[in-house]
Amino acid sequence: MWYSGIAIRRLQQFSLTSLKTIRSPTHILQKEMSTLPRVYVTRQIPPEGLRILRESGQVQFELWDSDDVPVPRQELLQKVKGVDALLCVLTEKIDAELLDAAGPNLKVVSTMSVGFDHLSLEELKKREIRVGYTPEVLTDAVAELTVALLLTTSRRLIEATHEAKTGGWGTWRTLWLCGYELANSTVGILGLGRIGVAIAERLAPFKVKKFIYTDVAPRPELASLINAEYVSLDELAKQSDFLAVCCALTPETKEICNKDLFSKMKNTSVFINTSRGGVVNQEDLYEALSTGQIAAAGLDVTVPEPLPPSHPLFTLKNCVILPHIASASYTTRNAMSALAANNLLLGLRGEPLIKELKL
């Protein structure tokens, strides 16, 4: 079904006399809708974004009306034919095949995500299609979840809950379910951006001794906010008691967390990833965890997603896996959908996007 944000009150402005000279209000509405840019929305996004599209009066849009099941690829290829703009989420691969199917009318792709590894940026650039995304609005939610995952993993809360529920809670024992403290620790951040800074700001009250980070280059302005020291990737691995991965997935960072990195980490280190699953070689991580090379890992992202329940990582007590929920707060998801909708509308008008990927 195609929607329009044109308010009914626009039709009510016509007087009875005027109505005698036109065919019908329905005819006017259909005519106006036919001239509006066409938009396809690949998911039932949170209500704030849909409200903005409906009330804008600028577009007619159709959406895949489900939040549980992604739009099938073949249906997506059909639905995008002739559209002027596309609002997508990270489950849709926007590649040459899809862009060819959409055709030359496509001017804007707006993704409701901070990551953009599902977008073929070279293809979009070649076709001069503008790209909007949603960074910053999810910084607080992701930072909070990262800290929660770190504490859950380091203090073995999932194990403890299981023991309490299944009869393992016996007499008090001196070293039973002992974990690792943040006090006097060194926290390493792989990829220092706003989220990395927000994580460090939340961890500082736990009496962390030192923050270190590595990135493609030093980032002194951000580092000064948390008094963090720039180090090499090797030193990050060697020094970190807790290592939080916050980098984007790029060709350079693909499986950057691998056997070589894990071999340099302490056997008491805790590894946390809330960025993208592709930055980790999961076979190497499994080996490091199962052999005691590192103490524990907490993952909010995996490859693939969802990770099959039969995956070896699920067999490990020292690995906590969440279903990619870092930005899952009502406030943040609505803010993301609103930003994605506004990026799309601005792009169709040829105006600067609020948040645009520079291709």
pLDDT for the residue 66: 93
Tokens, residue 242: 């807790």
In the CATH scheme, what is the code of domain 157-165+177-317?
3.40.50.720
pLDDT for the residue 102: 98
Q: Taking residues 155-184, report their average pLDDT.
A: 97
Quick one: DSSP state of residue 64? -
Record the pTM.
0.85
On the question of pLDDT at 15 being above 70, the answer is no
Which CATH fold topology does 26-137+332-357 show? Rossmann fold (3.40.50)
Q: Taking residues 286-296, report their average pLDDT.
A: 98
Q: Contact at 8 Å (CB) between 32 and 59?
A: no
Q: Contact at 8 Å (CB) between 283 and 255?
A: no
> 205-237 burial, b if ≥16 CB within 10 A, otherwise e?
eeebeebbbbbeeebeebbeebebebbebeebb
pLDDT for the residue 32: 56
Q: Out of 27, 118, 311, 324, pick the active-site residue.
A: 324
Residues of the chain with CATH 3.40.50.720: 26-137+332-357, 157-165+177-317
Label residue 33 by pLDDT band (50, 70, 90): low
Is 27 noted as a catalytic residue in this protein?
no
Q: Contact at 8 Å (CB) between 180 and 154?
A: yes
User: Cβ-count burial of 183 within 10 angstroms (0-12 exposed, 13-18 middle, 19+ buried)?
Assistant: exposed
Q: Which residue has tokens 């599902």?
A: 118
Label residue 25 by pLDDT band (50, 70, 90): very low
Q: Contact at 8 Å (CB) between 252 and 279?
A: no
- Tens digits of per-residue pLDDT, 221-246? 999 999 999 999 999 999 999 999 99
- Rounded to the nearest integer, the mean pLDDT of the chain is 92
